[in-house]
């Protein structure tokens, strides 16, 4: 009986190993988008995940949470991949080394409340499925998603190793869009100063167009100045001739990616 058990043990271990390998997603030969869904607050949300090529999967993966702008809102789980970071990933599918999680806000809604928490839940799910590195988790977003970058970071200020808000604001940019603002600091006497106070430990690189007429650059300038006074590591790049689309230049900048992936939580 003892001999039979000893013979059975290697077979059992081999079976468990094969089963574990079968349950793990097979790394793609080139970077690719996959679609996933998540149930949150009584609704089903589709989201996209960019999975890097197998050659980049030698250990836990850096993870980028990308939050789209107003024009990509919806429920198809795809529109958020068509502007901003998505086109850059398609052009650099073989070279981009990180997992990118791309949730989507429903029509006529913002990256606030349940939607911000849904984005964090999608980040959790994708990181668990594809082996994301909790020490190298980052957030970036453009326009409405830039506001959302501040939003999710304020909800979980110890979560992100660095932030890249693009053409973002803090307060509502225009009277016709009164719901677009960073809600966790909205009731503060000075929302810009409160944002810096809560996130001063997080490295940040902000980007904005000097001629942006949809989200004026004054919020970004004020945050940068207050961060400078506080000794926080907040960088700011303003494109002198840039209008609202600051994202194409930002996501095509190798220096930004080099800086971002060099940031790690302690």
Say whether 128 sits in a helix, a strand or coil: helix
Q: 248: exposed, middle or buried (C-beta count within 10 Å: 0-12, 13-18, 19+)?
A: middle
Name 67's bridge partners. 141
Name 47's bridge partners. 36
For the chain, domains (ranges, CATH) are 27-262 (3.40.50.1820)
Kindly report, residue by residue over 195-220, the tens digit of the pLDDT: 999 999 999 999 999 999 999 999 99
Region for residue 88 given its phi and psi (left: phi exceeds 0; alpha: psi -120 to 50; beta: otherwise): alpha
Q: 143: exposed, middle or buried (C-beta count within 10 Å: 0-12, 13-18, 19+)?
A: buried
Structure token pair of residue 176: 């016709």
Residue 167, CB-side half-sphere exposure with 13 Å CA sphere: 28
On whether the CB atoms of residues 123 and 65 are closer than 8 A, the answer is yes
On whether the CB atoms of residues 232 and 263 are closer than 8 A, the answer is no
Determine the Cα–Cα distance for residues 239 and 243; give it in Å rounded to an integer.
8
Kindly report, residue by residue over 132-187, the tens digit of the pLDDT: 999 999 999 999 999 999 999 999 999 999 999 999 999 999 999 999 999 999 99
Determine the Cα–Cα distance for residues 60 and 134; give it in Å rounded to an integer.
9
On whether the CB atoms of residues 137 and 100 are closer than 8 A, the answer is no
Determine the Cα–Cα distance for residues 244 and 213; give it in Å rounded to an integer.
7
Kindly report, residue by residue over 102-133, the tens digit of the pLDDT: 999 999 999 999 999 999 999 999 999 999 99
Element (H, E) at 183: none
Structure token pair of residue 159: 């979560």
Return phi, psi of residue 87, to 5°: -60, -35
Instruction: For residue 118, give the nearest of 172, 178, 126, 184 by alpha carbon.
Output: 126
pLDDT value at position 163?
A: 98
pLDDT range class, residue 55, cuts 50, 70, 90 = confident
Residue whose tokens read 């998603």: 145
Instruction: For residue 162, give the nearest of 245, 239, 62, 84 by alpha carbon.
Output: 62
Structure token pair of residue 193: 């100063």
Q: Does the pLDDT value for residue 22 go beyond 70?
A: no
Instruction: For residue 48, give the nearest of 85, 77, 84 by alpha carbon.
Output: 77
Residue whose tokens read 């803090």: 170
């Amino acid at each position: 009986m003892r001999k039979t058990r000893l013979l059975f043990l290697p077979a059992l271990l081999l079976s468990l190993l094969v089963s574990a390998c079968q349950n793990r997603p097979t790394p793609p030969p080139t970077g690719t988008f996959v679609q996933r869904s998540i149930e949150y607050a009584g609704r089903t949300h589709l989201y996209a995940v960019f999975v890097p090529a197998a050659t980049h999967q030698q250990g836990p993966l850096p993870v980028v949470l990308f939050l789209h702008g107003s024009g990509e809102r919806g429920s198809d789980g795809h529109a958020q991949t068509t502007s901003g970071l998505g086109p850059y990933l398609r052009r650099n599918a073989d070279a981009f080394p990180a997992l990118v999680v791309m949730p989507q806000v429903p029509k006529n809604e913002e990256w606030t409340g349940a939607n911000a928490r849904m984005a964090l839940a999608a980040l959790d799910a994708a990181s668990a499925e594809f082996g994301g590195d909790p020490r190298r988790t980052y957030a970036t977003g453009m326009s409405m998603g830039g506001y959302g970058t501040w939003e999710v970071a304020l909800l979980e200020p110890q979560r992100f190793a660095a932030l890249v808000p693009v053409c973002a604001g803090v307060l509502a940019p225009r009277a016709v869009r009164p719901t677009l603002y960073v809600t966790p600091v909205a009731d503060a006497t000075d929302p810009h100063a409160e944002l810096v106070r809560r996130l001063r430990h997080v490295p940040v690189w902000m980007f904005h167009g000097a001629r942006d007429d949809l989200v004026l650059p004054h919020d970004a300038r004020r945050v940068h100045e207050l961060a400078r006074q506080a000794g926080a590591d907040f960088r700011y790049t303003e494109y002198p001739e840039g209008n609202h689309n600051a994202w194409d230049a930002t996501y095509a900048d190798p220096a930004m990616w080099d800086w971002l992936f060099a940031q790690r939580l302690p």
